Amino acid sequence: MILKKRLLMIGCCLAFVILLVLTYSLYKEKRMYEQYLTMNVRQDIVDLKSAIIHNDLIFNRILENGRIINEMVEDGEQARQLQYNLQEMSRIINKYNLMNLSFSQETSWLVKPAQPFINRLGLEDIWPRTLFRMQMTFQRLDLINYPVSADLKTRIQEYQQLNDRWLHIVGDFESKEINEKDWPQLLSDLEQETRAYFEEKKVDFVEDDIWRDALNPRYR
C-alpha cells in the first residue's frame, strides 16, 4: 500500500515536472515570437511612415508640374514610386490581416502573442480598399509622361488631402515617434480618419461610381 502511494506520488511529481517544462517551453516560444513580431512591427512603422511622407512629396510635385513625370530623371518615375508606396502600405495591412486569422480564439493563450500585437483592421474596412483604388490610377504609367487633366487633377488633390490626414497621424520622423505598442491604435486611427474623410465629403465609398473610377490617364 505504501509502495503504491509512493509510486503515485512519484508519477504525480513527474507529470508536474513535464507539465512545467512544457509550459515554460511554450512561454519561451511565445516570448521569442513576440520579439520577432516587435522587430517586424518597428520596421513596418518605418515603412508606413516613409511611404506616406514620400507620397505627399510626389503629389505636390505632380500638381505643381501639371504632369506625371515617368522619365528616369531627378524627381521622375512618379507613377512607379506612388504605386510601389501604395502597394507597400497594402502589403503591411494584408500581413496583419493574415496574422489576425492566426490569432483566432482557438489559439492557446500560451502561444498567443500579447494584445499590442493584435489589431482589429479587417478586409471589410475602407482604408485597404482606398489604397487599392489609388493604386489603379497609377498602374502601368512607367513608359511616358502624362499630362494631368482637370478631372485627374481633382482626383490627385483628393488623394493629397487624404494622404495629408494620414500624415498628421503618423507624423514625420523628427517630430513624432511611434512604438510597437501604438501599432494597433495607429492602424485603427488611419481607418477611422479615412472613414471621416468620405463622410465629410458626403461620398458613399461603396456605391459612388465617380470615386471608384480610377481616372488612369493611360486609358483616356
* Type of residue numbered 84: Y
Closest by alpha carbon to 76, among 1, 144, 130, 15? 144
Three-class SS state of 139 = coil
**How is the chain split into domains, by residue range?**
44-219
- Taking each helix axis from N to C end, the angle separating 183-200 and 150-170, rounded to the nearest 10 degrees, works out to 140
- Grid cell 492602424 is found at 187
**Does residue 111 have a pLDDT over 50?**
no
pLDDT band at 44 (very low <50, low <70, confident <90, very high): confident
Lowest mean pLDDT among 103-107, 139-143, 150-154, 211-215: 103-107
pLDDT band at 201 (very low <50, low <70, confident <90, very high): confident
Question: What's the residue count for the chain?
Answer: 220
**Does residue 160 have a pLDDT over 70?**
yes
The pTM (predicted TM-score) of the whole model is: 0.74
